[in-house]
Amino acid sequence: MLLSKYKGSALAALAGDCIGAEYEAAWQPVAYQTLMKLEEILKNSQAASRRFLNYTDDTEMAHELAKSLVENGKFVAKDVASKFTKTFFTSPPCRYYGASVRTVFEKLQKASPFSDPFGPASEQFDGQGSYGNGSAMRVFPVALFCHGNQELLEKLAALSAKLTHVHIDAINGAKLQASAVEIALSSSDGSISWLEFWQKLKDLIDKLEVDVPEKVYTNKLDMIKELIAREEVASVHEFEDKVGTGIKATEAVCAAIYAFLMCLADRQPSELSSLSKVQQVVFYSISLGGDTDTIGTMAGAIAGAFYGDEGLPSYWLSACEGEDMARDLATKLHELNEK
């Protein structure tokens, strides 16, 4: 059912951020045993004493974007810029925003009432724009809003990115991540192989990078295919070396896609075999290390859109700040899309 996929996407994105944030500061691979220990803690503790996991900038911005789409029934740049800016200046320190994006919000706030919502982002890094993964980490609501309309999806993924990130890699990262969620919404377990899923992403990136000289996504997607197709599973160090897990959109988006496709190909590690498929994708993506909350949230958004919300245990969701909001926004985006 489509509603289950909408909820799955929003809730697994939330869980990926909240759980991934526990390991973000370490900037190294996370052992499966460590993740399974957290699983046991969450599973066996009473609701009242359960460890509470805060979400970070990824979820905060995704939810603000979703609220704006729901309230307006369309993308309104000034409203999204206003919501991003207001939450940035009122949110608690546990959100851990990227180091440079503050400048964008300071400029937006100064020029309130948001007369030039795209201006400040275009001045970042001497006009080059940010290539951070912030454009892609928050984009899944665009896929839920645009489901069935790829042209609109690409347009809104780009516009939502450009409020903070104008670098071509950040824009294409947002389009690629949103498209992965859309493919997941439009297909189901058993109806598509990992290679067919990969091919759809490759066709898209061939088009998006036709005039991009470096073709970073093209090369990384080719590498991902090679790694999944070969017999020996890549070590996290080899993956880090060949694709990357860092704050660049090109690395984190490809890492999230790799984690999802590895599980779709049934190549997930046996240590995680007691978990549901969605849980496996979230944990496997976090195990890659690096920007764990962001890779976790993006892999979760794709996996939840594919498998639905059934595989997300209540003891995971009740441990996450923002569960009710995620569920509510998914339901409203689903209602809007049905109209």
Counting contacts by CB under 6 A, is residue 128 touching ligand 8NA? yes
Long-range contacts of 21-27 (CB under 8 A, 24+ apart): 21/53, 21/54, 21/55, 21/56, 21/96, 21/292, 21/293, 22/53, 22/292, 23/286, 23/289, 23/292, 24/56, 24/96, 24/291, 24/292, 24/293, 26/289, 26/292, 27/289, 27/290
**From 22, 57, 182, 251, residue interacting with ligand 8NA (rule: CB under 6 A):** 57
Closer Cβ to ligand 8NA, 169 or 209, answer by number: 169
Q: Which does 98 bind (CB under 5 to 8 A by kind): ligand 8NA, Mg ion, none?
A: ligand 8NA
Residue 226 one-letter amino acid: E
Contacts of 68 (CB under 8 A, 6+ apart): 75, 76, 79, 80, 83
Report, in Å, the least distance between residue 85 CB and ligand 8NA. Answer: 14
State the sign of the Cα–Cα–Cα–Cα dihedral 329, 256, 133, 38: positive
Dist. CA 17–CA 302, nearest whole Å: 13
Counting contacts by CB under 6 A, is residue 291 touching ligand 8NA? yes
Counting contacts by CB under 6 A, is residue 149 touching ligand 8NA? no
Q: Pick the stretch among 84-92, 94-102, 107-115, 187-195 that binds ligand 8NA (CB under 6 A).
A: 94-102
Site string for ligand 8NA, 243-262 (x = CB under 6 A): ----x---------------
Q: What's the distance, Cα to Cα, between the start and end of the chain in Å?
A: 16
Under rule CB under 6 A, how many of the chain's residues touch ligand 8NA?
23
The HSE-up count of residue 93 (CA atoms within 13 Å, CB side) is 0
Q: Please give the structure tokens belonging to residue 286.
A: 């976090």
Q: Coil, strand, or helix at residue 320? A: strand
Q: Pick the stretch among 54-62, 66-74, 176-184, 225-233 that binds ligand 8NA (CB under 6 A).
A: 54-62
Residues of the shown chain interacting with Mg ion in the complex, contacts defined by CB under 5 A: 56-58, 244, 246, 291, 293-294
Q: Which does 117 bind (CB under 5 to 8 A by kind): Mg ion, ligand 8NA, none?
A: none
**From 12, 42, 101, 156, residue interacting with ligand 8NA (rule: CB under 6 A):** 101
**From 13, 38, 56, 334, residue interacting with ligand 8NA (rule: CB under 6 A):** 56
Residues at the interface with ligand 8NA (CB under 6 A): 24, 56-58, 96-101, 125, 128, 130-134, 137, 167, 247, 291, 293-294
